[in-house]
Chain A
Amino acid sequence: MSFVANTPLQREEMLKACGVSSVDDLFADIPASLRPQSFRLPPGRSEHEVLEYFKQLAERNYAQLTVFLGGGFYDHFIPSAVDALASRGEFFTAYTPYQPELSQGTLQAIYEYQTHIGRLTGMAAANASMYDGGTAIYEACQMALHATRRTRIVVDGGVNPVYRKMLYSYTANLAIDFTEVPVTHGASDRKHIEQVLGDDVAGVILQNPNFFGVIDNHEDIVARCHEQGSLVIQSVYPVAMAMLKPPGEIGVDIAVGEGQSLGNPLAFGGPYLGFMATNKKLVRKMPGRIVGRTLDREGREAFVLTLQAREQHIRREKATSNICTNQALCALRAHMYLSLVGKEGLREVALLCHAKAEYAKERFKAIPGVSVMETSSTFNEFTVHLPADAGVIAGRLVERGIAPGLPLGRYYPGMEHYLLVAVTEKRTKAEIGHFAEVLEEVLSHYWDFEEEHSERIDV
């Protein structure tokens, strides 16, 4: 099945038109010495056979767990209309809108997406999206470094550790210094941040709510940074923004975040989208695709890609980024999701997440030996301290059909007894109660498996 339309007879006619006798003649430029030494692949199969094969693979993934895993990636409900609309071929079989006359659908949708992200974050302008939340932070750093012509970045320890690892990988070959400031009691350490600020600091990266789910108002940090000429990059959870103080209200320069929660399935890590928004002053330094509204020859409203002169296909080695595309279809889904849940709906999602997480906290507090870290308010994710290795206990809960949260020892050495628990609007009171009961039961036997603590987590 190669989806080739032409019949052997048609191919003969075409070869004749090209003045060659066989298709091999068209590959004459590839010398015999360069022909494949091997090309051992299974023969093609029918649609039915392939579908069955993948169904088997899919069944070997147990997706029916009750999920309390978050860590920046959340199990939110996706309205059916998102899938129905995003699977229209006119959207997903189109490409980058180079020809605006044939791409007004994609272009207008991106413009509307940019507007939605701007309103959610309180910022003046958003781009058409980056690959994910981590690459968005990296691109924001590059923006800050270029805009300030400085060389150091300060990273709050509450920023998703996965993103911090990505940031350090990308910049390993560049002359950029990083200073990491550990969080204390779950929140940003003001004193420490102030100490490390200086006239070489291009930007400070913060996250709200931070990786521990802790809510903060970074307004004071933003003020200190601006006094020193540093920019502030804040990574935010878009669902929480329906309730919490958005970056725009506290003077943040570049807002970024992972947009998966807005209508995109978890899908084992991707595709997701990173959103990015900034203020008027920095908009021309923002990397990636941006759509603008203009007029056409007849004076009709029209949408086009704009500010492309900064991009790789024109500016080559001097481009602001090497990104060629955006996550158009994921951004489209995010925009559809926001349109469907709407202004009140997203607030309700946020309130539900928060209320259910608070209920879960109460349930866990009642379990002997378990304590909930409660030095500051949290949104829908919180840290619990367990009387044993969180990895081991999580394993026991997984066996009972619950993905209980993320053991923190892997990313924060010394926090081996801590579990990061997330609750979304999809979790019911009964599921939360069941989780608490199973946890209590597992913990009541924990002496039995304490000897396992030294075992390496081997997936």
Chain B
Amino acid sequence: MSVVFNKSVPGRRGVRLPTCDVPFVDAIPEEYLREQPAELCELSELDVVRHFTGLSRLNFGVDTGFYPLGSCTMKYNPRVSERIAGLEGFSQLHPFLPQLRSGGMLTQGALQLLYELERVLCEITGMGAFTLQPLAGAHGELTGMMLIAAYHRDKGNKKHTVLIPDEAHGTNPSSAAITGYRTVSIPTDGTTGRLNLKALEDLVDDETAAIMLTNPNTLGIFNSEIEQVVEIAHRHDAQVYYDGANLNAILGKFRPGDAGIDVMHINVHKTFATPHGGGGPGAGPVGVREHLVPFLPISRIEKRRDNSFVLDYDQPRSIGYVAPFYGNFSILVRAYAYIMLLGGDGLVEVSENAVLNANYVMHALKERFELPYDRSCMHECVFSASRQAEHGVHALDIAKALIDRGYHPPTVYFPLIIKEAMMIEPTETESKETLDAFIAAMLEIADEAERNPDAFAELPKRAPVCRPDEVKAARDMDVSFEAC
């Protein structure tokens, strides 16, 4: 589809703006004004509506079809959450309002909502307190590592390293590194697919600031030795960080706080069904055990004896500001709405069905696709396309073949420790009929890989484009449209 700037017609106007009801003044001296006008596009409202409607039709979302992108929890996003987030009493609130005297009383509903969400997240995870401010999962990780750094600084601990399993998401080492820590990788046990406790014992020492864990891990395997991991860490006064990316598997079945986890984050776009938005915005609430509460970001929401809510900015040991205000509020509204719709019983149902769906797909495919860890999985299963690769059909080719069959492919080439990895996460909102059709498509692709491997290079054929040239993109760096 032609880029929007090609559709622009000089002089054409879209929306009409309010008329100027005050004397027109232009009190700004020439030296402050721009020399060239900003060449924004010039379109009618209908031009714009058609352009973006056209673009939307080139996209695939959960609303379009099955989207088993591992590690991303692409579940259905309830429409009522959108409606709630759009209520004027939420969407029109200026964030500086509570900082005005008497302004706090005008935002009691919003503050109550945030306060209640914090409490609910504590109950779901077993953590002592939550901050809702982090603006995304990765931002939550960064906040968590800042809290750990503040804790060690406060105690006068000299800590320099963070231990991270080799199967972890790339964000973990990155978050630790930008907080100023050196990262050390812990190998995974090749037979169990879990963290190697012996290796951990060897690597941990008094310089270890933290261990970062994902449980269930990125292989979809729950580590039942998590208490031992915590115990080993605490023996060295290292903190244990729990990456909540895979929380969808364990709601009502396991709470990180009960295992002694010190800090964790939640990706609300995964577990609590806030829209993925094409890559954001998300929200990454961070939970801590009691000893880290004094370090939580400014401000904290407190409930007064008269049941009113107040923002407390007087937090002398806090790590300070991580967000301009109270987090991605309207995303948090959606998360709370979702939790309230489901309730405790519904959340347990989520995990049970997410895990059942993943195991069902795993069992149906394991005859034809290599399953590196053949054991029951949690909410996702990780296959390897190694058998197909022998015929020259790689994980990426299988992904492209799925596109032609109307599916979004699984996550491919992650986790890095599995060659030709294909990570499938069906989520709980998919029906058996959908899973059966997907399984049939995968089996058909396995047949095709043996029968006609050469055909894969030209796939997908039914998508608007086919395998864009990424090398050309990186070399040419055409990242801004120039009219020819």
Contacts and interface: CB of A to CB of B under 8 A. Distances in A.
A344 B42 contact: yes
A207 interface: no
Interface string B249-272: 010111100110000000000000
B251 to A, nearest CB: 8
Given A268-B94, A292-B478, A325-B282, 6 more contacts: A39-B252, A40-B344, A126-B480, A267-B90, A294-B476, A406-B96
B479 A249 contact: no
Interface stretch (A160-168, A193-201, A226-234): A160-168
B191 interface: no
A79 B298 CA distance: 34
Given A53-B340, A101-B465, A329 B281 contact: yes
B320 A165 contact: yes
Given A316-B173, A398-B106, A60 B112 contact: yes
B478 A60 contact: no
Nearest to A85: B52
Interface in B86-101: 86-101
Given A3-B429, A28-B376, A268-B330, A317 B41 contact: no
A40 B123 CA distance: 7
Contact of A345 (B13, B63, B344, B356): B13
Which of A15, A106, A129: most chain B CB closer than 10 A? Answer: A106
A271 B353 contact: no
Contacts of B341: 1, 44-45, 47, 50
Contacts of A134: 321, 323-324
Nearest to B145: A173
B280 A326 contact: yes
16 contacts: A2-B346, A14-B357, A37-B126, A41-B344, A42-B340, A58-B90, A115-B3, A115-B5, A131-B139, A172-B146, A172-B149, A273-B281, A293-B473, A313-B171, A343-B38, A406-B100
Interface in B1-59: 1, 3-5, 12-15, 17-18, 20-29, 31-43, 45, 48-49, 51-53, 55-59
Contact of A34 (B77, B226, B409): B226
B311 interface: yes
Interface stretch (A149-157, A332-340, A435-443): A332-340
A348 B37 CA distance: 12
Contact of B107 (A91, A108, A163, A268): A268
Nearest to B10: A343
A14 B360 contact: yes
A38 B124 CA distance: 9
A322 B97 contact: no
Contact of A342 (B13, B110, B124, B259): B13
A94 B173 CA distance: 26
Contact of A112 (B14, B277, B478, B481): B481
Given A44-B343, A87-B82, A355-B20, A243 B28 contact: yes
Contact of A94 (B59, B324, B328, B346): B59
A13 to B, nearest CB: 7
Interface string B264-299: 000000000101111111110000000000000110
Given A266-B93, A294-B473, A336 B52 contact: yes
B468 interface: yes
Which of B63, B85, B126: most chain A CB closer than 10 A? Answer: B63
Interface stretch (A117-125, A178-186, A364-372): A117-125
Nearest to A266: B94
A103 B468 contact: no
Contact of A101 (B18, B346, B403): B403
Contact of B55 (A72, A105, A122, A429): A105
Contact of A356 (B22, B281, B346, B474): B22
Interface string B352-372: 110111011001100000000
A445 interface: no
A133 B136 CA distance: 15
B429 A5 contact: yes
A399 B460 CA distance: 62
Question: Which 5 A/B pairs are nearest by Cβ-Cβ distance?
Answer: A269-B325, A58-B89, A459-B104, A395-B101, A60-B109
A342 B14 contact: yes
Given A3-B78, A131-B139, A398-B106, A95 B278 contact: yes
Given A42-B340, A345-B15, A403-B97, A317 B51 contact: no
Which of A71, A170, A300: most chain B CB closer than 10 A? Answer: A170
Contact of B324 (A246, A269, A325): A269
A295 B323 CA distance: 39
Interface in A381-427: 391-392, 394-396, 398-399, 403, 406-407, 410, 425-426
Which of B28, B77, B88, B171: most chain A CB closer than 10 A? Answer: B28
B14 A339 contact: yes
Interface size class of A (residues with CB under 8 A): 35 or more
B432 A14 contact: yes
A112 B19 CA distance: 29
Contacts of B280: 129, 131, 271, 325-330
Contacts of B484: none
Given A3-B429, A96-B278, A398-B106, A39 B344 contact: yes
Interface residues of B, number: 212
Contacts, number: 718
Given A173-B180, A307-B474, A61 B89 contact: yes
A116 B51 CA distance: 15
B179 interface: yes
Interface in B200-229: 221-222, 224, 226-227
B322 interface: yes
B254 A342 contact: no
Contacts of A55: 87, 89
Interface in B152-195: 153, 169-171, 173-180, 183
B473 A270 contact: no
Interface in B444-470: 458, 460, 463-470
Contacts of A54: 84, 87, 113, 333, 337
Given A3-B429, A10-B432, A322 B174 contact: yes
Contacts of B18: 77, 352, 425-426, 428
A15 B110 CA distance: 43
Which of A58, A122, A329: most chain B CB closer than 10 A? Answer: A58
Given A295-B468, A321-B174, A170 B322 contact: yes
A347 B17 contact: no
Given A61-B109, A359-B23, A391-B100, A324 B171 contact: yes
A132 B88 CA distance: 22
B457 to A, nearest CB: 9
Contacts of B63: 89-90, 93
Given A42-B340, A270-B135, A51 B13 contact: no
A403 B100 contact: yes
A42 B339 CA distance: 9
A426 B346 CA distance: 44
Interface stretch (B68-76, B235-243, B387-395): B68-76
B190 to A, nearest CB: 18
A43 B20 contact: no
B268 to A, nearest CB: 11
B48 A336 contact: yes
Contact of A36 (B221, B253, B376, B432): B253
Contacts of B422: none
A19 B375 CA distance: 12
Contact of A324 (B100, B136, B252, B477): B136
Nearest to A359: B22
A112 B8 CA distance: 13
Which of B153, B297, B466: most chain A CB closer than 10 A? Answer: B466
Contacts of B100: 69, 391, 394-395, 398, 403, 406-407
B65 to A, nearest CB: 9
B90 A61 contact: yes
A19 B311 CA distance: 53
